[in-house]
Amino acid sequence: MASQDLEVRVVEVKGRCPVYRIGDRFHGYKLQVERLLCLHALTVLMPYYVALSRETPPRELGVGNEKTSYL
């Protein structure tokens, strides 16, 4: 991945999600997906997406460790 690419991986689904399953992923500085995108998942990502894609450590945002975010 290029330095500004951001990979999003589904590691847990709370409740029922008709779109994503554990193990699904999408990536890119510009959000481009090849399948349906759940707007509920997108709203969780939006406050952090730009900062994370510009390599702000997740720890500085309070959402993870040096390389991994948990939202």
Give the closest residue to 52 by CA, choosing from 17, 3, 1, 18.
Answer: 3
Domain that holds residue 27: 7-61
Q: What is the pLDDT of residue 60?
A: 92
pLDDT tens for residues 16-59? 887 778 998 877 655 566 777 777 777 888 888 878 888 889 99
pTM (global) more than 0.75: no
Beta bridge partners of 25: 9
Q: Give a yes or no: residue 27 inside a domain.
A: yes
Q: Give whichever of 4-8, 11-15, 23-27, 41-45 has the largest mean pLDDT.
A: 11-15
Integer Cα distance of 10 and 27 in angstroms? 12
**Residue 4: band (very low, low, confident or very high) from pLDDT cuts 50, 70, 90:** low
Give domain status of residue 70, yes or no: no
How many folded domains does the chain comprise? 1
Residue 33 domain flag:
yes
Give a yes or no: residue 71 inside a domain.
Answer: no
User: Would 67 be classed as within a structural domain?
Assistant: no
- What pLDDT is attached to residue 1? 45
